[in-house]
């Protein structure tokens, strides 16, 4: 298929709106060609994953767009950066990386992006309407946007997200098209105990299993007895997008494009059916941990994706005013920090040993104490997946309650929750 650009798009690629906009349009068009898209479509908003410092190249790219006079054409929120600009936590990023990360964050602000700095923009007021085409980056935000909000986006990576935001266009392919959003696979969790499915602990495990088994297929989860709550869907999608290339899932009776399994499947029988057993879940749970036995826990990390205010309520309830023996890193966005500060809650948590991390998180930038063979406990499937490679810590996956109890005594507590 050949890509056809409109006159306006061709003019933009040739420099009619400046060198920065031209570079953005060429990147969008070249990606569209690679994807086999026939045309570009307008997008209503963007979520930009590209402002996280991985090295100087990303900073130089953003600054080249700024030098070319580019500005975003649509609402664009920012995903996490490598620095905590709120000052809540201390990032041990040394010079010259620190200055380059700062320059990068500044460049994205100059391009006109909102200073949201969160991987959960959908809990910070950026919720496009069902059926809207958008260009979102950050794998968990993409999967939430498609699955829970029912807006339409592909998995836009760094550079393409900001390029789409500047061009106001995205390639017409993949999950923007209705026919590509139908499930072909059924992931039946009906054999698991309902009490397990109602626990927050279950959803990162199920997501991790789902991502590994489903890969790039689109599945509908069946057998879920009741709506597990938005934070559970957030955790499921994040874990699924860490272990597989998942951009969209459906849950029958829960997500907007799956009033029932038949609707999600487009009236056809599933090509593949996975009947999830308690043994499969037990295996998926053990795979989330890289440390089998540990005498101690060195740190606890919660908040991937970023914690909601409701999740902070639960952490406070579980801590019950006790002091922690090891630091508990609570990663969140400034939208939540502002609400916590307004009630004096952040100061109280910090006095008990919580390290609130805003604008960034502990697996994308050095915040955790530097140590060899450190043991990190987390309730997040995504942290469990990425922490060993990115931080050097071994991980133990546990419930939020066990994470808090372990932080209080400094030793791993693992309650048998099932399934």
Partner 1 sequence: MSAEAEVLVEGSAGRGKALVLSAPISFWGGVDPKTGRVVDVRHPDHGRSIAGTVLFLPGTIGSSSAAAVLLELVHAGYAPAALVLHEPDAILLLGLIVAREMGWPTPVAVRLDRERHAEFATMVVTVSVDGQLSALPPP
Q: Binding residues for partner 1, per CB under 8 A?
A: 23, 26-27, 30-31, 34-35, 49-50, 52, 54-58, 60-61, 64, 137-139, 142, 155-161, 215, 241-245, 290, 363, 385-386, 388-390
Q: Pick between residue 161 and residue 257 the one whose CB is nearest to partner 1.
A: 161
Instruction: Kindly state the tokens that stand for 310.
Output: 């409701």
Q: Per-residue b/e over 365-375, b at no fewer than 16 CB within 10 Å? A: bbbbeeeeebb
Task: Please state the closest distance from residue 30 (CB atom) to partner 1, in A.
Answer: 5
Task: Please state the closest distance from residue 28 (CB atom) to partner 1, in A.
Answer: 10
Q: Pick between residue 331 and residue 354 the one whose CB is nearest to partner 1.
A: 331
Q: Pick between residue 60 and residue 268 the one whose CB is nearest to partner 1.
A: 60
Task: Please state the closest distance from residue 58 (CB atom) to partner 1, in A.
Answer: 5
Q: Pick between residue 351 and residue 371 the one whose CB is nearest to partner 1.
A: 371
CB 101 within 8 A of CB 53: yes
Task: Please state the closest distance from residue 154 (CB atom) to partner 1, in A.
Answer: 8
The residue to which tokens 């890509």 are assigned? 3
DSSP tag of 172 = S
Q: Pick between residue 304 and residue 406 the one whose CB is nearest to partner 1.
A: 304
Which residues lie across from 328 on neighbouring strands? 300, 354
Task: Report the relative pairing of strands 219-222 and 185-188 from DSSP bridges.
Answer: parallel
The residue to which tokens 């968990």 are assigned? 140
The residue to which tokens 């996490």 are assigned? 80
Task: Please state the closest distance from residue 366 (CB atom) to partner 1, in A.
Answer: 13
Q: Pick between residue 28 and residue 356 the one whose CB is nearest to partner 1.
A: 28
Q: Pick between residue 25 and residue 340 the one whose CB is nearest to partner 1.
A: 25
Task: Please state the closest distance from residue 83 (CB atom) to partner 1, in A.
Answer: 16
Please measure the distance between the N-terminal and C-terminal CA atoms of the chain and give it in whole angstroms: 48
Q: Pick between residue 160 and residue 375 the one whose CB is nearest to partner 1.
A: 160
Selection from 139, 120, 153 nearest residue 45 by Cα: 153
Q: How far apart are CA 230 and CA 209, in angstroms?
A: 19
Q: Is 106 buried (19+), middle (13-18) or exposed (0-12) by CB count in 10 A?
A: middle
Q: What DSSP string describes 69-112?
A: T---SSEEEE---SS-TTSSS---PPTTHHHHHHHHHHHHHHTT
Q: Pick between residue 136 and residue 312 the one whose CB is nearest to partner 1.
A: 136
CB 133 within 8 A of CB 20: no
Length of the chain: 419
The backbone torsions φ and ψ at residue 379, rounded to the nearest 5 degrees and listed phi first, read -100, 5
Task: Please state the closest distance from residue 138 (CB atom) to partner 1, in A.
Answer: 6
Task: Please state the closest distance from residue 284 (CB atom) to partner 1, in A.
Answer: 13
Task: Please state the closest distance from residue 71 (CB atom) to partner 1, in A.
Answer: 18
Which residues lie across from 40 on neighbouring strands? 171
Helix, strand, or coil (residue 272): strand
């Amino acid at each position: 298929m050949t890509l056809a650009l409109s006159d306006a798009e061709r003019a933009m690629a040739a420099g009619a709106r400046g060198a920065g906009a031209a570079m953005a349009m060429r990147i969008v068009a070249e990606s569209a060609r690679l994807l086999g898209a026939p045309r570009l479509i307008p997008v209503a908003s963007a979520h930009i994953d590209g402002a996280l410092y991985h090295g100087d190249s990303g900073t130089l790219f953003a600054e080249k767009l700024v030098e070319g006079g580019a500005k975003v054409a649509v609402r664009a929120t920012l995903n996490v950066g490598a620095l905590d600009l709120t000052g809540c936590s201390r990032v041990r990023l040394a010079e010259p990386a620190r200055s380059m990360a700062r320059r990068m964050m500044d460049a994205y602000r100059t391009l006109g992006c909102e200073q949201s700095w969160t991987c959960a923009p959908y809990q910070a007021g950026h919720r496009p309407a069902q059926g809207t085409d958008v260009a979102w980056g950050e794998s968990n935000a993409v999967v939430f946007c498609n699955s829970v909000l029912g807006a339409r986006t592909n998995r836009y990576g760094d550079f393409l997200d900001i390029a789409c935001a500047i061009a106001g266009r995205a390639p017409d392919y993949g999950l923007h098209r209705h026919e590509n959003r139908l499930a072909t696979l059924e992931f039946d969790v009906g054999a698991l105990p309902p009490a397990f499915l109602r626990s927050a602990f279950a959803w990162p495990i199920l997501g991790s299993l789902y991502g590994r088994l489903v890969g790039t297929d689109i599945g509908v989860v069946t057998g879920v007895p009741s709506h597990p709550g938005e934070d559970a869907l957030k955790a499921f999608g994040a874990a699924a997008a860490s272990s597989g290339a998942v951009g969209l899932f459906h849950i029958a009776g829960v997500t907007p494009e799956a009033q029932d399994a038949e609707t999600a499947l487009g009236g056809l029988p599933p090509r593949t059916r996975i009947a999830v057993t308690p043994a499969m879940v037990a295996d998926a749970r053990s795979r989330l941990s890289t440390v089998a036995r540990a005498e101690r826990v060195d740190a606890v990390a919660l908040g991937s994706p970023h914690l909601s205010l409701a999740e902070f309520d639960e952490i406070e309830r579980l801590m019950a005013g006790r002091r922690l023996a090891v630091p508990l890193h609570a990663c969140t966005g400034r939208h939540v920090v502002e609400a916590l500060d307004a009630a004096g809650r952040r100061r109280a948590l910090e006095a008990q040993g919580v390290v609130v991390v805003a604008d960034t998180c502990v697996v994308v930038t050095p915040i955790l104490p530097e140590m060899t063979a450190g043991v990190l406990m987390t309730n997040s499937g995504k942290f469990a997946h990425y922490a060993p490679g990115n931080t050097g810590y071994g991980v133990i996956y546990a419930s939020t309650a066990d994470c808090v109890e372990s932080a209080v005594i400094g030793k791993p507590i693992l309650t048998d929750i099932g399934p």
